[in-house]
Structure 1
Amino acid sequence: MNTLFRLENVVVRYAGTEVLRAEALDIPEHSVFGLAGHNGSGKSTLLRLLALLERPASGRLLVDGADSAGRERELRRRVTLLDQEPYLLRRSVLENVAYGLRARRESGDLERRVAEALEWVGLAPGFARRSWRELSGGEAQRVALAARLILRPRALLLDEPTANLDAESVTRINQAALRAREEWGTTLVLVSHDMAWLAEMADSVLHLHHGRVTGYGRMNILRGPWLAEPEGSRLDLGSDARLRAPAAPATDAPAAVEPGDITLLPPDDAGAGRFDSLLPAMVEELSRDRDGLLALCRAGELRLFTRLPDCERVFLPGMPVLLGFTRQAVRFLDVPRTAD
């Protein structure tokens, strides 16, 4: 698969403060690429960089293998960004959806193309006559997406596209974005706090923390408060269960545990004592990614992904289980990794 976007030693700064650093990052063509992280982690900055709305202070953004510097205007015709709260013109739905085509002087067969774009997001052709004032939040988001789909972009960048939307709007946005990938080969880059939604939509998920890449995949993110103990720290889960970790750099420090570092056990497993942390849990759902089967388990207020073990025992949704992992499986995101 070809690479559409490549970041090489990229640094982005705002008012002299570094907000994003990516030594090496590739986004494949035709992929659905997810971005996850807390507020201020650099997700939206990376999205604006890919949309050619930001320039790196140093390093290079390559598009199709060529440096994007000096080509921004040309590339913006192929890449489009949908913000979480998109701006709509104070005009009709038709004029909002058609705006990009008019700006490009591609106004031929305009009404048919607008109707087609609206159909993609589940809105009837007659919807084009409505005023922007008459739209609900979900309808406004779908109209804004139609305004981008009508351009048939090479890359579609979506920043929290389903946040606070009704179920029907979420479904329509999902379907339209994936249809663009299927029919036109559009590359999708999705930002969301909803890890379940990202896991369902994306081929791969990149995790960011304080502007740095912390890992890929369905990573489990843990947050404090962490309580100090003689051998490190622990997360108090409000019951007899304790999640033990190395010494926390701060009481509210975020940490990560890879799904493969959590062992799924039956409740009566005789070898459970070999783990530092042992959490009673319930299997909620099963899924598959490129590395195999995953189980999403609920342990009190925590929902954790774990790799299914290669054994004869079958784990199914609704089953009680134990989640076992060592103290060192917990990695604090503010502590740099040491070389292996």
Structure 2
Amino acid sequence: MTKKKLAYHLQDIHHYYGNTKVLDINDLKIEKGSITGLIGPNGSGKSTLLKLLAFARKPTRGHIFYKGNLELPFSPTVRSKVTLLTQKPYLLKRTVFENIAYGLKIRKDKTHLKERVKKALLNVGLDYQKFAHRKWHELSGGEAQRVAMAARLILKPEVLLLDEPIASVDTESAELIRKASLKARDNWGATLVIASHDLQWLYSISDKQLSIFKGNIFSTGMENIITGPFVKSDEKTNKKNLVKKLDDGQIITLKAPAPKTCTAIIRKKNISIALEKQPDNGILNQLSGHIVSMLLEKQTEHIMAFISIHDLSFVLRLTSDQISSLDLYPGKKVVLQFSSNDVEWL
């Protein structure tokens, strides 16, 4: 089997803001030419990770290898190869044409400039005649985001890092950005890492998803997070367990955590799905809920099912056989089952 080449290899990354740890990554590899989706709540560390990958910031501890070489922030060897599009795009106080052409002019690459700018605008769904001579302040938020995207695509970077690229755009623009991103990978082999809260859009574009919570990376994608408050079990047989009581009367039983931990993780692989609760089956947790949505995971062709348990959200990776045998679909009532011993604590 041919060994896949790496764009990035992160080792023993620990990053702090003051005394607060925001990233804790033991080992992370991102393959060249892949599209990786970053999933996580606000403040989880997604934007910080993108800044480290862009070599715009040095990790407090650890090493970042790019194409096998240890690199530092603003290294000349990566400066023109890696580009980051932030959630709030920064545009120069110039016309759209000048914003998009700026990077090429810095490189003193002015051949066929008009045609290249026109193509870059077309790739993000903006008409050259209509937008090329507009000033930066005459653009809507979505238009500014697409202009910023075009300014990066025209440079044909080896790595394109996107932080919430469709947060302020409409559905049509989001689809254009998706197609432009895929073209960057297909046409010149760009590696993409994309953070987005829009899971349906992210799953439609990415080969693999990484989930980040409290700076910790889950390479298996989204995992199930249960936050406190927790109370000690009042059952004599389960004195060492904790419970979380939901407002609808359901109770989640979890093994007691290590000191100073307050967030429980239940991995997808440790949860089973059924249509009814099973009596006396030894499973401590049987939670009733309903399927909210289902997404196709491109790389594995599994289905990601998002399930609402009162005010909690769970995610499972299901096979087509499971979907068919249980006749699962959005809105269907289901029961999730898992053992208290399968909990991990952060």
**TM-score, length-scaled by structure 2:** 0.85
Q: Is the 8 A contact 2:294 2:303 kept in 1?
A: no
In the alignment, which of 262, 275, 279 is matched to residue 253 of structure 1?
262
Structure-2 separation of matches of 1:246 and 1:63: 41
For residue 320 of structure 1, what is the aligned residue in structure 2?
333
How does 1:23-42 map onto structure 2 within 5 Å? 23-42=26-45
Which segment drifts farther, 238-247 or 311-320? 311-320
In the alignment, which of 311, 315, 318 is matched to residue 305 of structure 1?
315
How does 1:1-12 map onto structure 2 within 5 Å? 1-12=4-15
1:236 aligns to 2:245 (yes or no): yes
Note the aligned Cα RMSD (angstroms): 2.7
Alpha-carbon deviation of 1:84?
0.5
Structure 2's unaligned 5+ residue stretches are none
Structure-1 separation of matches of 2:13 and 2:223: 24
Alpha-carbon deviation of 1:93?
0.9
Q: Is the 8 A contact 1:264 1:307 kept in 2?
A: no
1:280 aligns to 2:313 (yes or no): no
Amino acid at match of 2:10: L
Q: Give CA-to-partner distance per residue, 1:45-96, whole Å, 9 cap, x none.
A: 2211111112234432111111224881221211100001011111111111
Structure-2 separation of matches of 1:252 and 1:132: 47
Alpha-carbon deviation of 1:151?
0.5
Structure 1's unaligned 5+ residue stretches are 334-340
Amino acid at match of 1:62: F
Percent identity of paired positions between Structure 1 and Structure 2 = 38
In the alignment, which of 274, 296, 301 is matched to residue 306 of structure 2?
296
Q: Give CA-to-partner distance per residue, 1:259-315, whole Å, 9 cap, x none.
A: 221111022x54574322222222332534528444332333333222337667233
1:208 aligns to 2:217 (yes or no): no
How does 1:96-107 map onto structure 2 within 5 Å? 96-107=99-110
Alpha-carbon deviation of 1:118?
0.8
Q: Give CA-to-partner distance per residue, 1:234-270, whole Å, 9 cap, x none.
A: 3333213223223367999333222221111022x54
Q: Is the 8 A contact 1:35 1:208 kept in 2?
A: yes
For residue 271 of structure 2, what is the aligned residue in structure 1?
262
Q: Is the 8 A contact 2:203 2:295 kept in 1?
A: no
Q: Is the 8 A contact 2:5 2:31 kept in 1?
A: yes
Structure-1 separation of matches of 2:300 and 2:135: 45
Q: Is the 8 A contact 2:200 2:295 kept in 1?
A: no
How does 1:45-194 map onto structure 2 within 5 Å? 45-69=48-72, 72-126=75-129, 127-194=131-198
How many residues are treated as equivalent by the alignment?
A: 332
Structure-2 separation of matches of 1:294 and 1:16: 36
Q: Is the 8 A contact 1:285 1:316 kept in 2?
A: no
Alpha-carbon deviation of 1:174?
1.7
Structure-2 separation of matches of 1:251 and 1:167: 43
Q: Give CA-to-partner distance per residue, 1:88-111, whole Å, 9 cap, x none.
A: 111111111111111111122111
Question: Relative to structure 1, is the Cα distance of residues 220 and 197 closer, same or farther in structure 2, using a 3 angstrom cutoff?
Answer: farther
